[in-house]
Chains A and B, each alone.
Chain A
């Protein structure tokens, strides 16, 4: 069955770096894009961007340009989200979510990774 399994919760200090993983199984990794979605505590869903798993080309929503980086380890069917120079407002749950090449709704989601940034 199709699964996206994310890495565990993270507790970081401001200014540090975190790298969250999303391991896919049950389908051909490079046939679907991978999106990242942020959900701050008690808030709604915000699309951060996506990465083309064929080319490795990332696309970032405007708010997430600069400190955020999407990457891949295709041989391991794994996508990564790295956040540099962490800020308190990065405290949130981060989800990876698969999307089709053309119809880019999110049909499978990871379980979410909770990131807490606190001094």
Chain B
């Protein structure tokens, strides 16, 4: 199984600031990497697929990058509505595994 590791389980960032969330796969996943945002009490929401492709309706302050085993989600100009937990997921091979999540809060 491919393990997905998000090194930070918690991040605190100032309003209007920039944050980078990292995700490392235990094997190459060919950019088959998705990022999801989950707010308390809600279902996850797809933000990015294919490591870099922003879903329709997702603000352009979100972006994804990376290749091979290492991927990042960046958020610029942090807004209060960005407070959430963010998960990476590989869909290169089953079982499709998620990272442990990074909880983002406003400082």
- Whether B3 is near chain A, meaning CB under 8 Å from some CB there, is no
The 0/1 profile, CB within 8 Å of A marked 1, for residues 60-80 of chain B is 000000000000000000000
In the complex the two chains form, what is the Cα distance from A111 to B45 in whole Å? Answer: 11
**Residues of chain A whose beta carbon lies under 8 Å from any beta carbon of chain B:** 35, 37, 44-47, 49, 59, 61-62, 95, 97, 99, 103-112
A103-B32, A103-B91 known; 4 new pairs, CB 8 Å cut-off, are A61-B95, A95-B44, A105-B91, A112-B43
**Residues of chain B whose beta carbon lies under 8 Å from any beta carbon of chain A:** 32, 34, 36, 38, 42-46, 49-50, 55, 87, 89, 91, 94-101
In the complex the two chains form, what is the Cα distance from A7 to B60 in whole Å? Answer: 34
Give chain B residues whose Cβ lies under 8 Å from the Cβ of A62.
95
Given A103-B91, A106-B34, verify A95-B96 contact (CB < 8 Å): no
In the complex the two chains form, what is the Cα distance from A106 to B87 in whole Å? Answer: 12
Which of B42, B87, B94, B95 has the most CB atoms of chain A within a 10 A radius of its CB? B95
Given A44-B87, A45-B87, A99-B91, verify A106-B46 contact (CB < 8 Å): yes
- Can you name 13 A-B residue pairings with CB atoms under 8 Å? A44-B87, A45-B38, A45-B87, A46-B98, A47-B89, A49-B95, A61-B94, A99-B91, A105-B50, A105-B91, A107-B46, A109-B45, A112-B43
In the complex the two chains form, what is the Cα distance from A97 to B44 in whole Å? Answer: 9
**A47/B98 in contact, CB under 8 A:** yes
Give chain A residues whose Cβ lies under 8 Å from the Cβ of B89.
45, 47, 105-106
Given A44-B101, A45-B87, A103-B49, verify A109-B44 contact (CB < 8 Å): yes
